[in-house]
Structure 1
């Protein structure tokens, strides 16, 4: 797709405002029903499985019973989580609680390395002794079974924010061992690319491997579309602006083939146009950057856009460049699907010559 050519629906007249309001109201009801359903699922899960992010105080009897139980059944992850929750409450005020917490964290990694709660364990590099001990346990798992892909993926997830470079290195090993596993691990590692800036070489290799997967003829259309949705962003973060425009254009073509009521349409159209606009802005082509910027909000409403609103990263850049009117136009179009009071406050601030705070809506 040429960047001089408007996307299919960008030049169309906007429907009557009342139609948009009806459409938005229907989406709001759908969003509320979906949110209630998701909250119910979360409540059920929370009641069934204890989470490491919810501290829990245990009575003395329960505490002793759990400790005795784990002596006989060291792989019982639910009991171990309860004890970790309890000791987290007192780790800073009780030396014995801190010691027991350290013991149970190490035991959890040793006995349950594949548990879904592994990434949430209270381990950070500030506690050098515990951090080193846990790292040695992971190394032990890997040395005992160096070809175990599940262990390697779990270790990569564990270190994703604790040590991004180590996480990337382990993820790369997964790709080397099993090319069939590469898509999931690459998408995981690229998903935290913002923190994996210390290993640009890995990110580049991962991006290129993802491209190979994308161009495979055997890849299912659904999987191919999932990867395509990510490619413009990853290319932009690596500074490959020609690739950004290329894959954003391909994404627009795919989006235009979707059914009119597809939930994938609105947000993907919005993002694809914005990635092209960002590249044009970076290259100093402000006129065309403005066109794509406005086209990005001339899209059908989607559940995501009606909930989270439009991306405002480029809006902030335009404000800093003194281009206030284009941002006012952008927000005015966005008000057709994103009915938030703060949006109109921003428009007023821009008209008054002030700089709105977009920080919570930058992607």
Structure 2
């Protein structure tokens, strides 16, 4: 709170260490929110304040985050980071919206992410590919989803995000195949997704289970069980969950936390 009041431009406020979360402590979050609103009123054209406030608001007050990012983008039009942040915000919104609104939010996310991608280079471009593919899928733009998935898989083995790209590129192509009724290709892509050797992100948060769920709903139990077994090779911290899911599937049940 002291940093928000006295050093709102501080870089640490744009990191998880500088954030408060409404779901964790609603009162503390609300107090911080009020201070940020005051800071925005007092520093309406300060890009660092706008960025830090948007980070703070992103999960709990997306409308306020959007307002701050749009303002920053208008002041700093050549900087692709504002489009990237807006794309992230709209992508997050797809998790909480109705089906119709998810589609419109995904279209907005795709537009902003593509703007960021087209005005970035090298590693900054590569870092956007996973978000681009996911937004394109939700926006039902299958051609673009395929393009971005294939770009993920074409990245060099030395590229820092390579293992994430192996996983999410194959998951995306598997979802596209399943949407056309090509179950065999979808199963192949599911298993290829588990060939990733892991990454800090995958090792911490685990693999994507959406394609596995869709295939299990179609009776492809063996492929899903094999996928879980392969994922155990890189997701050591998720061993208990993988074991629990495997037992549920062996009982012909859908894992309860797969939604």
Report TM bin, short chain: 0.7 to 0.9
TM-score (norm 2): 0.74
TM-score (norm 1): 0.55
3-state SS of paired residue (1:192): helix
Aligned position for 2:44: 146
Partner Cα separation in structure 2 for residue 123 and residue 323 of structure 1: 37
Partner Cα separation in structure 2 for residue 342 and residue 159 of structure 1: 31
Aligned position for 1:159: 57
The yes-or-no answer on 1:243 pairing with 2:144 is yes
The change in CA–CA distance for 1:147 and 1:202 in structure 2 (over 3 A counts) is farther
Partner Cα separation in structure 2 for residue 123 and residue 208 of structure 1: 30
3-state SS of paired residue (2:207): coil
Aligned match of 1:290 in 167, 187, 192?
A: 187
Aligned match of 1:351 in 227, 250, 254?
A: 250
Shift of 1:252: 0.6
The yes-or-no answer on 1:182 pairing with 2:82 is yes
Partner Cα separation in structure 2 for residue 322 and residue 228 of structure 1: 31
Aligned position for 2:115: 212
Aligned match of 2:8 in 86, 97, 113?
A: 113
The aligned runs of 1:1-363 (5 Å cut-off) are 77=2, 109-114=4-9, 116=13, 119-120=19-20, 135=34, 138-179=36-77, 180=79, 181-183=81-83, 185-186=85-86, 188-190=88-90, 192-194=92-94, 197=97, 204-216=107-119, 219-254=120-155, 257-259=156-158, 264-297=161-194, 299-304=195-200, 305=202, 308-338=205-235, 340=239, 342-344=241-243, 346-359=245-258
Partner Cα separation in structure 2 for residue 243 and residue 358 of structure 1: 30
3-state SS of paired residue (1:152): helix
3-state SS of paired residue (1:120): coil
Shift of 1:250: 1.0
Shift of 1:343: 3.3
Q: Is there any run of 5+ residues in structure 2 with no aligned partner, and where?
A: none
The change in CA–CA distance for 1:109 and 1:266 in structure 2 (over 3 A counts) is closer
Q: Is there any run of 5+ residues in structure 1 with no aligned partner, and where?
A: 1-51, 53-76, 78-107
Q: Say if 1:263 and 1:303, in contact at 8 Å, map to a contact too.
A: no
Partner Cα separation in structure 1 for residue 127 and residue 33 of structure 2: 35
Partner Cα separation in structure 2 for residue 232 and residue 258 of structure 1: 20
Q: Say if 1:175 and 1:185, in contact at 8 Å, map to a contact too.
A: no
Partner Cα separation in structure 2 for residue 172 and residue 265 of structure 1: 32
Per-residue CA shift, 1:255-295, capped at 9, x if unaligned? xx324xx6633332011100121233334433332222222
Shift of 1:353: 2.2
Partner Cα separation in structure 2 for residue 343 and residue 123 of structure 1: 27
Q: Relative to structure 2, which stretch is displaced further, 302-311 or 271-280?
A: 302-311
The change in CA–CA distance for 1:171 and 1:293 in structure 2 (over 3 A counts) is same
Per-residue CA shift, 1:152-204, capped at 9, x if unaligned? 22222232233212212321222222121425533552463345749866764
3-state SS of paired residue (2:45): coil
3-state SS of paired residue (1:270): helix
Q: CA RMSD in A?
A: 3.7
Partner Cα separation in structure 2 for residue 290 and residue 275 of structure 1: 12
Partner Cα separation in structure 2 for residue 143 and residue 301 of structure 1: 48
Shift of 1:139: 4.9
